[in-house]
Amino acid sequence: MTNEQCSGHYRFFWQNARLSFITALLLLLSTVGGLSKALAGGEDARPSRPNILFILADDHRWDLLGNIHPIIKTPNLDRLAEQGTYFSNAFVTTPICASSRISILTGLTERTHDFTFGRPPTGAIESQNVYLKLLKDSGYRSGFVGKYEIKLSGDDSERFDYFYPLLHSKTNEYQGKELPQTYYITQLTQDFIESSAGDQPWAIAVNFWNPHALDSDKENQYHYPAEFENWYADVTIPPAKLSDDASFEQLPEFLQQSIGRVRWEYRYANEAMYQKMVKRYYRAISAVDQGVGMILKTLEQSGMADNTIVIYTSDNGYNVNERQLAGKWFGWEEDLRIPLIVYDPRKPASHGKQRSDYVLNIDFPATMLDLAGIPAPETYQGESFLPMLDGQTPPSWRHEFFFEHMYQPKRVSIPPMAGVRTQDWKYVNFYKHGHQQLYSLKADPDERENLAQLPEYQGILNTLSQRTAHYIERYENQRSEEVKARKDFVNQLPAHGAP
């Protein structure tokens, strides 16, 4: 046999061997695919991982949605709630933006992550476990747009493929044109969605600044696109609950002199100011609603709506003249409670449903990882509420929760507090001022009467006080070694402006 014939035989052999291997591989894949379809009743049982659109407003309290409020208009959020699942008992563990936003990213309480204004960046372990980083590490394209005002260890490029952090302003420039900031954030989100077409799943955190007040503008405070200027002009805003002089006078002196009262002076101090500011606040919420609608329309137009989970919520609640105070740093319902809507287009059984389980901001990261099929880190203190979209309550789900506010600036008065909310009771301890509050939520849902000093309630008071101390000890013990090594929080907190 000649060398040429020998070479030909070898080529024939390897060509046939390669074809046989490819044929066998294709046959195997076909068999697996057929088995998958058979197990799924004829459908492919290998669905792509969903996209995750997480939308966070700032200072949007839970009851200001059009489908539950007689005045405010939020048609897009109303429709989202009608199509998805509305959670009527969603709360934050700390009612202030910086701490709450870190809790949303890390699944940890403020007591554990130890971050608020003026504090060092979140520790290395905490920053490594930011849910968007874990999603990115697992193959997601990750994005962040809007309000940031937090500090994480490491480089942001490790967490975000698309990163546009923004300070608060009335407008931002986009392609040579000034846009209202709410629409600018909307446009950046639309750009991210449109540039994410393809097989790679994506997740983005959209952090609107609205309806947060622009603190540098004491005259108008709340801002929105011009087309909302006449919204609510023909209505009279009813008085806020407990906004009479007597309710304010019942407060201890340290609350009367807190920044909540200082800001009240240029927001709600008289009827004309109250009407003006509340309407502007409502317009800012309606502007966020419009931005949400524009984003959802982009999802539809891009063909991604059927595989994108949409979550809408807020970083904390808000006082709107209740007890003649402004702000959100206290333990009342208007401070702790937030709206929460989850729409999963893949789960028809979850559409149009309402859940009353206690869901917390520290549950969001575990839930989003669960949506992507990623185990939550053991450090997370929250849990996935994904089973609730299937009508199930996870075993041993909470019936109470701990909340607190540790921020203590030196130039203004924001009293620290900690407490526990159960289904029947609310306990708040302003421990630096020796003042406790106890409310019967069943008999007194508006939290009108503080029962803490009445003899017949001392047993309940002591029990909830002990529960609060238990949570504090538990969450402090769960701090990372890096955080534990830091100097004392209270004594070392530097002076800082009001949040």
pLDDT on residue 385: 98
Task: Indicate the pLDDT class of residue 412, thresholds 50, 70 and 90.
Answer: confident
* pLDDT over threshold 90, residue 23: no
Position 472: which residue type?
I
Domain-located, residue 259: yes
User: Considering the domain boundaries, does residue 396 fall inside one?
Assistant: no
Q: Looking at residue 297, what is its pLDDT?
A: 98
Q: Does a structural domain hold residue 6?
A: no
Decide if 468 is inside a domain.
no
Assigned domain for 487 exists: no
Say yes or no to pLDDT of 16 above 60: no
Residue 190 has pLDDT above 90, yes or no: yes
CATH code at position 271: 3.40.720.10
Which residue's structure tokens are 């747009």? 145
Kindly tell me if the per-residue pLDDT of 155 is higher than 80: yes
Cβ atoms of residues 495 and 411 within 8 Å: yes
**% of the chain beyond a pLDDT of 70:** 88
429 within domain boundaries: no
Q: What total of structural domains would you count in the chain?
A: 1
Higher pLDDT, 396 or 411: 396
| Calpha distance 296→17 (Å, rounded) | 52
- Choose between 17 and 260: higher pLDDT: 260
Would strands 51-57 and 202-207 be described as parallel, antiparallel, or unpaired?
parallel
Residue 108: domain span: 51-391
Span 34-66, pLDDT tens digits: 333 333 333 333 358 999 999 999 999 999 999
Q: Which residue has better confidence, 44 or 106?
A: 106
Is there a domain that residue 459 lies in? Answer: no
Mean pLDDT of 478-494: 71
Q: What is the mean pLDDT of residues 457-465?
A: 98
Instruction: Look at 13-27, 131-145, 272-286, 404-418 and tell me which has the smallest mean pLDDT.
Output: 13-27
Average pLDDT over residues 198-219: 96
Residue 454 falls inside a structural domain:
no
Q: What pLDDT score was predicted for residue 488?
A: 56
For residue 205, pLDDT beyond 60? yes
Tens of pLDDT, residue by residue over 256-280, are: 999 999 999 999 999 999 999 999 9
Q: How confident is the model at residue 487 (pLDDT cuts 50, 70, 90)?
A: low
Position 409 confidence tier, pLDDT thresholds 50, 70, 90: confident
